[in-house]
Structure 1
Amino acid sequence: MKHDVIVVGAGPVGLMLAGELRLGGAEVVVLEARAVPSGQSRGLGFTARATEVFAQRGLLGRFGAVETTTQGHFGGIPLDFGVVDGAHFGVRGIPQHRVEAVLEQWAGELGATILRGHSLVELSDTGDGVVAVADGPDGPAEFSAGYLVGCDGGQSTVRGLAGFDFPGTAATREMYLADVAGCDIRPRFIGERVAGGMVMAAPLGGGVDRIIVCPLGLSPGAGEPAFGEIADRWLELTGQRLHDAEVRWHSRFTDATRQVSTYRKGRVLLAGDAAHIHLPAGGQGLSLGVQDAVNLGWKLAATVRGTAPPGLLDSYHAERHPVGSRVLRNTLAQGLLYLSGEEVDPLRAIMAELMAVPDAARLLVGMVSGLDIRYDLGPGPAPLGMRMPDVPLDARRTVSELLHDGRGVLLDGTGSAGLAAAAGGWADRVDHVVARPLAHTPAGWPAGVAALLLRPDGYVAWTGTTELETELGRWFGAARPMEAGVAR
């Protein structure tokens, strides 16, 4: 079976990538080992930046009513996210299985092929393509493509078969998770330190509670624990007995923190937890992986389509590896604050004082929300390299609506014939939109900037300080001889 791209893994990252590839015109097949969705959800929401990503593809409304709050935390210390314009402590109450269902429907509507019950067992990079063998319902099946992307989680088969290294730190702490019913459990929404560790509890609705229990240290055992072990730890730390609870599902995770040295080896790439693992603090894991997919999708689609300029695909690693490294650092820091014993109380006290300083709070909010991401696209004023906020443009549309189709956008506040003519050779890849924002934000449309070029992922690639044709060629490849497109 020949495709442009094979995606391994039908979690949120793999499904998001499949949709992005289809928007870019690539033929894609997704191979998923599970025969049916698990229905389980470690994550229960996503960050402000992931919220923007879903909105720019017209997906946010598919999740139903979304709730956000500006009241969050950093390592268990309260933090007001309202100090940054447009920031919030993520969308809460959206379980991961619902995210997967929405993204699977979307990718399918766009024409992605999703094959469940197909476990990858062999992988070879032939130099001009990739050949993969998966065990399927009817036995082994061979797939070939120009590229393969591993989105198959922290225990990634792709990472192992392709020989990626995975440096980092081993686990020092562990956390047990369970969804239980039939219990009267006091909510502890951001966690509560108790003698011997930390516990967290939150109602999920329908009489189901999620509990997380984090004893100090690391047990000698490995793998998934029996629920009786989790109930024992909960009893030890809270005095409450849950052994007779109705258990929906349970799991275990640690603070092991690792990241591959390179996100690409030849024609094999990694995204999401296949490329980086860390303590799940602040719902950053799913969000980080979804942003990997959106950064990679349009670049890989342009590569297989033959329109990508030299080096475009390599910019995926260059842009996303530093972002992943920073998330790993902040989750390690949060784990230290959150899960350590009384010996860290002096550090917690100092951090609480620092977080009351608006500039320090803005730094941490930008870090955890992802709103401070700025890719190094060369010299130029903000918002060059930053994501364009979803500001209203006129009575009918916003910035995110212009990005639904995954194309570049030349946002032109001048309406000049010169800009239209300059962009005409890229009209098959870039939409020329004559409009000015109705709202001005620090990272929006700065004073003196008459036009902006947005990449398909929503990041600003040009602010008028260089030749427009140069930047169009840098991100969208060579121009094609054609008449200038009609501005929208």
Structure 2
Amino acid sequence: MHDVVIVGAGPVGLFLACELGLAGCSVLVLEREPERHSPFKAMPLGMRGLSAASVEAFYRRGMLHRLLTASGDDDDPGTDPDAHEPSAPRGVGHFAGMMLDPARVDVAALPYRLPGPATEGMLTHLEAVETLLAEQALRLGVDIRHGVTVSALTQNKESAVAHVGEREYAAPWVVGCDGGRSAVRGLAGFDFVGSKPQLTGYVMHATVADSARLHSGINLTPTGMYLHLTEGHIGMMDFDGGAFDRSRQPTRDHLQAVLRRVSGTDVTLTDVHLATSFTDRAMQTTTYRRGRVLLAGDAAHIHSPLGGQGLNTGLGDAMNLGWKLAATVHGHAPDGLLDTYTRERHPIGAGVLDWSRAQVAVMRPDPHGQALQAVVRDLIGTRDGTTYMFQRMSGSAIRYDLGGEHPLTGRSAPDLRLEDGTRLGDLMRDGRGLVLDFSTDACLRGSARAWEDRMRYVAGPARNDLGLGAVLVRPDGVVAWAGERTPDRAAFEQAAGQWFGAPEI
């Protein structure tokens, strides 16, 4: 019997499998699709944007360079790693189709942003992400099986069982990472609540006879929105109340009619090679755990793809859940650790749903939407407005309520750099927690030894310690505790016990 069965071999399920495999858990991944490759995952339809927080997760596990190569990107997405001061981001993105100017980001308002290899978002595609993660999972001993459809799910106090026809796959834990139409979510009886759709969206790869009539980039119009990137790659949003969803395959005539309506042109689609539709339905489960069954990614929350928040939120779920579930499997998790997964990630998911709803409201092709657009354009034309948007879209605004007085507690750890050039991100590749002790007498060394099987201890001065004496970082990169110039050993030990369980005697 495996320690964990994951249903769904998309990016979220595979990232979670890697986290569990890295921690020494036995993991089985079940995927209903017979093979990983799909034209909807490759470029151009599979193109996705990773936020700085997601890029940081790949960096901290030693996978960033391989991801860049697989994505066809030879440029490091981060700032100059030898720089002493952080620079403005190279790109920010858009809100409701309105592009933001990265030059307006106030870097001084981001006190814990340090230069490093993972301070920027990047463009990739699903096939690159899934291929990389599948290879990593296999190296870690994860068992991945394709063409397997879960038809039933049962559980008791000791285990959960995924039923596939006559076969049963039992484990102490089952995690549903099987997308927006999650079978696990329904079979396990999760409540799924939210708001109805306002629009139908389309993504297609088509041949356009007179494509020069379409403006490039993102275009808000009086009748909707369309996106024209590479030749033949077109996205559209039609405010029809979500009347045309994925239950029907869009025809060439239907797509042409929608494109003409939202673009205000009479362009002609001579051929449609691939097309799919979606809505902005915004739904979330009321909890991410029911007994021995957990959810992550789109299985736990769905919304429109505006701003590319879905994939990034799912990867954040996997990073948050992985180490907590592994500690639970190994028996050294403190009481209630697994419950902090819902407590920390549910508000993040709810915030993303509202972020998506806000963009849809601003994009509505009516007088109310037009009025909102004018207000938002004024706001993002200011330094404070763009900085706020950047913080939300990059993930740098995320802060979990972990208690503690230091303002860094609960945030993603800055990429602190030691005098010998070693970075915090370099020290997190094994998936353990981390203690960086900058105090002159390495005063936490003795205390940290009690948890040496669960965290790495590193002492020495840093090139920029941000005024810290020491910092305790969880395996997901979140600061669990931060001490001033003379660290309080008792406070450190309390935080270590809270997140890493009882010390070894």
Q: Does 1:51 align with 2:55?
A: yes
In structure 2, the gaps of 5 or more residues are 78-89, 108-112
Given the alignment, which residue of 224, 235, 241 partners 1:218? Answer: 241
Match of residue 28 from structure 2: 29
Q: After TM superposition, give the deviation of residue 182 of structure 1 in Å.
A: 7.0
What does 1:404-423 align with in structure 2 at a 5 Å threshold? 404-414=429-439, 416-423=441-448
Residues 43 and 283 in structure 1, CA contact (< 8 A), matched pair in contact too: no
Secondary structure of 2:306's partner?
Answer: coil
What percentage of residue pairs aligned between the two structures are identical? 38
One-letter identity of the residue aligned with 2:288: Y
Given the alignment, which residue of 226, 230, 245 partners 1:199? Answer: 226
Q: Which runs of 4+ in 1 moved over 6 A?
A: none
Cα 1:308–1:197 change in 2 (3 A) is same
Cα 1:329–1:191 change in 2 (3 A) is same
* Aligned mates of 2:120, 2:99 — CA distance in 1: 11
Q: Number of residue pairs matched?
A: 464
Cα 1:468–1:8 change in 2 (3 A) is same
Match of residue 385 from structure 2: 360
Given the alignment, which residue of 457, 473, 476 partners 1:457? Answer: 476
Match of residue 497 from structure 2: 473
- RMSD of aligned residue pairs (Cα, Å): 2.1
Secondary structure of 1:119's partner?
Answer: coil
Q: After TM superposition, give the deviation of residue 38 of structure 1 in Å.
A: 3.9
Residues 337 and 499 in structure 2, CA contact (< 8 A), matched pair in contact too: yes
* Aligned mates of 1:194, 1:357 — CA distance in 2: 23
Cα 1:81–1:321 change in 2 (3 A) is farther
Secondary structure of 2:229's partner?
Answer: strand
Given the alignment, which residue of 209, 234, 250 partners 2:275? Answer: 250
Q: TM-score, normalised by structure 2?
A: 0.87
Residues 409 and 432 in structure 1, CA contact (< 8 A), matched pair in contact too: yes
In structure 1, the gaps of 5 or more residues are 440-444, 482-488
Cα 1:105–1:62 change in 2 (3 A) is same
What does 1:171-186 align with in structure 2 at a 5 Å threshold? 171-181=197-207, 185-186=211-212
Residues 17 and 27 in structure 2, CA contact (< 8 A), matched pair in contact too: yes
Partner deviation per Cα, 1:332-379 (whole Å, 9 max, x = no partner): 111112343344222211212222332232222211221110100103
Secondary structure of 1:283's partner?
Answer: helix
* Aligned mates of 1:45, 1:114 — CA distance in 2: 26
Residues 200 and 243 in structure 2, CA contact (< 8 A), matched pair in contact too: no
Residues 197 and 282 in structure 2, CA contact (< 8 A), matched pair in contact too: yes
Residues 242 and 279 in structure 2, CA contact (< 8 A), matched pair in contact too: no
Q: After TM superposition, give the deviation of residue 72 of structure 1 in Å.
A: 2.2
Match of residue 141 from structure 1: 167
Secondary structure of 1:282's partner?
Answer: helix
Q: After TM superposition, give the deviation of residue 215 of structure 1 in Å.
A: 2.0
Q: Does 1:17 align with 2:16?
A: yes
Partner deviation per Cα, 1:236-272 (whole Å, 9 max, x = no partner): 333354432351x211111100111101111100000
* Aligned mates of 1:182, 1:216 — CA distance in 2: 23
Residues 84 and 365 in structure 1, CA contact (< 8 A), matched pair in contact too: no
Q: After TM superposition, give the deviation of residue 209 of structure 1 in Å.
A: 3.3
* Aligned mates of 2:16, 2:9 — CA distance in 1: 10
One-letter identity of the residue aligned with 1:288: T
* Aligned mates of 2:285, 2:272 — CA distance in 1: 39
Q: TM-score, normalised by structure 1?
A: 0.90
Q: Does 1:392 align with 2:417?
A: yes
